[in-house]
Amino acid sequence: MKPLALFGGTFDPVHLGHLSVAWEAAELLDAEVRLLPASIPPHRQPPIASTAQRVAILRAALQGQSRLSLDTRELEREGPSFTVDTLTGLRAEQGARPLVLLIGADAFAHLASWDRWRVLFEVAHIGVLSRPGVSSTLPPELEDAVSGRRVATADALRDCPAGKVIELAVTPLEISATRIRELLAAGRDPRYLMPAGVFDDPALLAPYRR
Ligand code: ATP
């Protein structure tokens, strides 16, 4: 059975950086990849766009392909979405299927601040996506937890349902949602930093325009 990989984020808004690394992770792991938008991210400022607006942009972005899909379970739950709870729910649903939590290298460096972060290794593998400008040096507490878990090949993730960490060397794309929001707020048109489908309906990006 193919591993199931989850790529969580605010997606405020989704951009080609997200989609490209998610796509490459799907190829590298031969996995089903789901984008998992967060409702009230525990570590972040509230999003600019509403939940419904972020989902509409994601749906437009994912049109025309079948490798990446959308999982809105965190948006359907009350209160903050803790990744560990989401993965525990998926584990109960998916049995012994390997689960892989995909995280950009910037977010991974802060893993030790996540709620019940050590439990994450009991429910899923972690795939760390390289991101331009992010050093691979981890805080000592996190490095200690990760060092015995590292594997070099995707095959190693199929032997057990959870607990390994793999670096996924994806094509570096220096695109961030922060930059996209700045460009849209300045009246610019980041046409080639976002998937074409999001420009079909002018209302989709309206929340970011001033
Ligand atoms: P913001 O600029 O608002 O912080 P972001 O572009 O980092 O947003 P998020 O929704 O916060 O996007 O990110 C979701 C996940 O995608 C995180 O794990 C993040 O590290 C990863 N990610 C985002 N952009 C890239 C990129 N260009 N390359 C690799 N990983 C990325």
**DSSP assignment of 86-97, as one string?**
HHHHHHHHHTT-
Once rounded to an integer, what is the mean pLDDT over residues 188-192?
96
Q: Does any ligand 1 atom lie closer than 6 A to the CB of residue 107?
A: yes
Residue 96 pLDDT > 90: yes
Residue 44 vs residue 69, higher pLDDT: 69
Predicted pLDDT of residue 145: 98
Q: Does any ligand 1 atom lie closer than 6 A to the CB of residue 41?
A: no
Predicted pLDDT of residue 40: 65
Query: Which tokens hold the place of 126?
Result: 């972690």
**173 Cα–ligand 1 center, Å:** 11
Distance CA 72, CA 75 (A): 5
128 three-state secondary structure: strand
Nearest to 177, CA basis, from 2, 4, 16: 16
Strands 4-9 and 32-37: parallel
Once rounded to an integer, what is the mean pLDDT over residues 61-90?
93
Q: Does any ligand 1 atom lie closer than 6 A to the CB of residue 71?
A: no
Contacts of 106 (CB under 8 A, 6+ apart): 131, 134
pLDDT tens for residues 149-178? 999 999 999 999 999 999 999 999 999 999
Contacts of 30 (CB under 8 A, 6+ apart): 2, 3, 154
Q: Check whether the bond before 140 is cis (ω within 30° of 0).
A: no
| Helix-, strand-, coil-residue percentages of the chain, each rounded to 5 | 40, 15, 45
Residue nearest to atom 26 of ligand 1 (CA): 17
**62 Cα–ligand 1 center, Å:** 17
Distance CA 87, CA 93 (A): 10
Phi and psi angles of residue 100, each rounded to the nearest 5 degrees, phi first:
-130, 120
Distance CA 105, CA 160 (A): 23
Residue 179 vs residue 210, higher pLDDT: 179
ipTM: 0.97
Predicted pLDDT of residue 135: 86
Ligand 1 atom showing the smallest separation from residue 132 Cα: 28
Within a 13 Å sphere around the CA of 120, how many CA atoms are in the beta-carbon half? 26
pLDDT tens for residues 114-147? 999 999 999 999 999 998 888 889 999 999 999 9
Predicted pLDDT of residue 41: 55
